[in-house]
A and B are shown apart, each in its own frame.
Chain A
Amino acid sequence: MQDPIFSDSTLAILGRPKTAGQDSAAAQLEDEVVCLYEKFRNRLLRYLLSLGLNAHDGEEVIQETFLALFQHLKRGKSRENLQGWIFRVAHNLGLKQCGRNLRRSRRWVAAGDGVAEAQPDSSPNPEEQLVNGERRERLLAVLDALSEQDRWCLNLRLEGLRYREISRVLGMSLGAVSISLTRSFARLARADRR
């Protein structure tokens, strides 16, 4: 009789019937991922909204990110700097979604359909604008005028990522992160002084 393709030891790990231990390990991992979700969800969603996604697409990207995290951890891959990992995956998926939305909106425009879907959510109400006044508008105008990369850097920093983490998320050098943030803060400080 031929040998089985997988050794008994491999099967012992991979193919054994589900046991109470396995149930509990899977449940533990699910709990851990949900805990991480609770910890990061708001920061990630803010970041994704700042990329230009609407809340629905942002939520979907975050779901995809944490399903990927679940697989990542289940395969026993590195747990080093999970924050950076989570933001990197969400950033990449977010950009992909932005691209889809852009293509879609271009097509609607070209077709003269007039459907203005996938736009960022509506702007704040008039009362809020009155309260926050000109300063707020100035800062928002500066944020809008930043280059895409400067805005990504700034938003990641404002969500608490360290330079090293930002450099990994965006694939930039540490020096480039520092220069980008300096450029942004210099503009914001100037706008704030006016």
Chain B
Amino acid sequence: MAEERAHLSDRDLVDALHSELAAGAISAVNSHLSECRTCRDRMTRFQLAMTETEDVRRTELDARMPAIAASRALLRSRLAEQSRGAFDWLRGLRWWSQAWPRYSTGVLSAVLLAIAVLGLRSIAPINSGGNRSPVTVAPLPALTPGATVAVSRQDLCGEDSARRSAYIPASLQREVFREYGIANAPPDAYEVDYLITPELGGATNIRNLWPEPYYNTVWNAHVKDQLEQRLHAMVCSSEIDLSTAQREIATDWVSAYKKYFHTDRPLALFRDRLFGQLTQDGKLAHFVLRGLDDHVDPGAEYSDFQQYRHVLVEGRATPIIGEAEQRT
């Protein structure tokens, strides 16, 4: 028993192995190790366990890691966008600061009037969690510059054009994911989408395809679908010519959306980004505005969302059940 107590504890050995011993203990532990073969052997076993665990773990995990190139390019594009976003905000702040003395009365009246007309409740979701800048994921121009087939406006808008095939073979979809370095993409996370939709003459070609996230971004696949429908309608009603529509959607579809919908945010932002959890009896128990970090209390029912008959519950359209006034 006395001999056992004389040995170093496991904790001393593990701390020594990681060079994490308290300053005062280092020399005592080292001196003991130099004299005690048992403790040296124990130390060696710890060392071996660490090396082997590290090795096994790396083998296991590294095999599942995609290449870094595409994710690094994506980060660069997101960073550039954040920089641009900040600048726009600062410019707005400057204008507002200078204009305020002149327009303060008018601005205040307009704001109060807007609040009175719209009602505070209807704008609450817009304000909540709004201090986080939205993230756009754009196709990488080097990989997806856009490609078209030769079609006329009549081809796209005629009666038999009803639905130009938007089918993308699974093998081509896999190629797109591979090109963007996305491995094992969850099926409800991305849509392999046309940059220029077939309804606007887009080609089923890898240069016209990219993995567009449904969620985690404000400007997602659902929002782009709205723009595609809008541009198609505008082309068919001759409000815009086909080449312009193709160019605008391929160059910067987010700007095109803002331009043609006259808005700075997706119209269906909240419907598209509202997630919830179903209880066993099918009620929506927990709302989450994903991406905005705006969690709503589980079990609570919110009248703010009554305007939407359905919400997307992790990607599936789900009716809102049991609507009631919000209780504060």
Contacts and interface: CB of A to CB of B under 8 A. Distances in A.
Nearest to A106: B277
Interface of A: 1-6, 11, 14-18, 22, 26, 30, 33-34, 37-38, 41-42, 45-46, 49-50, 54-57, 59-60, 62-63, 66-67, 70-71, 74, 103-104, 107, 110, 117-118, 120-121, 124, 128, 132, 135-136, 139-140, 143, 154-155, 157-158, 162-163, 178-179, 181-182, 185-186, 188-189, 191-193
Interface string B94-131: 10011011001000000000000000000000000000
Contact of A5 (B68, B100, B314): B100
B168 interface: no
Nearest to B45: A189
B62 A11 contact: no
A16 B218 CA distance: 28
B187 A46 contact: no
Contacts of B86: 74
A30 B50 contact: no
Interface of B: 10-11, 14-15, 17-18, 20, 42, 45-46, 48-50, 52-54, 56-66, 68, 71-72, 74-76, 78-80, 82-83, 86-87, 90-91, 93-94, 97-98, 100-101, 104, 135, 182-189, 216, 277-278, 280, 314
A178 B186 contact: no
A80 B216 CA distance: 30
A124 B63 contact: yes
Given A41-B72, A188-B49, A192-B45, 17 more contacts: A18-B87, A34-B76, A38-B72, A42-B65, A46-B57, A56-B183, A56-B189, A59-B66, A67-B75, A70-B79, A132-B56, A135-B52, A182-B15, A185-B46, A185-B50, A188-B53, A189-B46
Contacts of A46: 57-58, 61-62, 65
Query: Main secondary structure on chain B at its contact with chain A?
Result: helix
Query: Main secondary structure on chain A at its contact with chain B?
Result: helix
A66 B75 contact: yes
A121 B314 contact: no
A78 to B, nearest CB: 20
B186 A56 contact: yes
Contacts of A154: 53
Given A30-B80, A158-B53, A50 B61 contact: yes
A182 B187 contact: no
B90 A178 contact: no
Contact of B135 (A67, A136, A139): A67
Contact of B188 (A5, A66, A117, A182): A117
27 contacts: A5-B97, A11-B97, A15-B94, A30-B83, A37-B72, A38-B72, A45-B61, A50-B61, A56-B184, A59-B66, A66-B79, A67-B79, A67-B82, A70-B82, A124-B63, A132-B59, A139-B52, A178-B14, A178-B20, A181-B14, A182-B14, A182-B15, A186-B10, A186-B14, A188-B52, A189-B46, A193-B45
